[in-house]
Amino acid sequence: MRGAATVSADALRAFVAGVLAKVGMPQDDAATVAEVLVWANLRGVDTHGVTRLPRYVNLIETGDMNPRPSIRVSKETPASVLIDADRAAGPVAMLRAKTEAVHKAREAGIGFALVRATTHTAALGYYTFAAAQEGLAAIAVSASWPNMAYHGTRAAGVSTSPLSIAVPGGKHGSIMLDMGTGVVSMGRLNQAKKTGETLPAGWALDKAGNPTTDPHAAD
């Protein structure tokens, strides 16, 4: 068995951006997505890193992700903005939202950005950390389809509802929390399905609602 290859972060960013450009994404947007994915890898969150690249390519090829979106502000107030992302790659849409929210916050004291019609947001912590680096406290949340069972139930009924909070830390550096509300993320389960590793007890249910440690049986 061959050992895992080691590459530099710059080389990995270039690879990811090149793949996305090949399937129609503009170079600047491809570089943005590559930066966000590799950032997750560098922080040890591989479930939200470059492992997502094949999924992003598939979303573009099936038409679920728009590689050349027309992102626009559809509504706004002095302190809030609603962004129509036109099925953009999540990192592209979320960074636009971060920029708009930071601008509103500097003008009104608080900035609230909502994004609709987007795709997988990648690691939420990237966007809150970026805002904290600009001197602002930030909170980001993301919704999805029901993919987690309530405690004591046998079927999915609620999203893992990812949440990130970041605050400036002065000379000590910014402080950031990035988490989901489940025992484990969907990305971690998908990673286990690829590797075939046995799941810890309590992580997943099968189609019948019974506890399972088999990643391929996890529903």
How many CA atoms lie within 13 Å of 168's alpha carbon, on the beta-carbon side? 9
Q: How many CB atoms lie within 10 A of CB 148?
A: 21
- Residue 128, classed as helix, strand or coil, is helix
Print burial letters for 156-178: b (CB count within 10 Å at least 16), e (below 16): beebbebbbbbbbeeeeebebeb
Residues of the chain predicted below pLDDT 50: 1
* pLDDT score, position 1: 44
Question: How far is the C-alpha of 65 from the C-alpha of 33, rounded, in Å?
Answer: 13
The CA distances from residue 117 to 28, 111, 172, in Å, are: 20, 20, 37
Burial state string for 21-44 with b = 16 or more CB within 10 A and e = fewer than 16 = beeebeeebbbbbbbbbbbbbebe
Within 10 angstroms of residue 73's Cβ, the number of other Cβ atoms is 12
Helix (H) or strand (E) holding 191: helix 186-195
The confidence score (pLDDT) of residue 196 equals 83
Q: How far apart are CA 101 and CA 166, in angstroms?
A: 14
Q: What is the pLDDT, as a whole number, of residue 3?
A: 63
The letter for the amino acid at 193 is K
**pLDDT at position 133:** 96
Residue 2 confidence (pLDDT) = 60
On whether the CB atoms of residues 162 and 146 are closer than 8 A, the answer is no
- The pTM for the full model equals 0.88
Taking the mean position of all CA atoms in its chain, how far away is CA 173?
A: 22
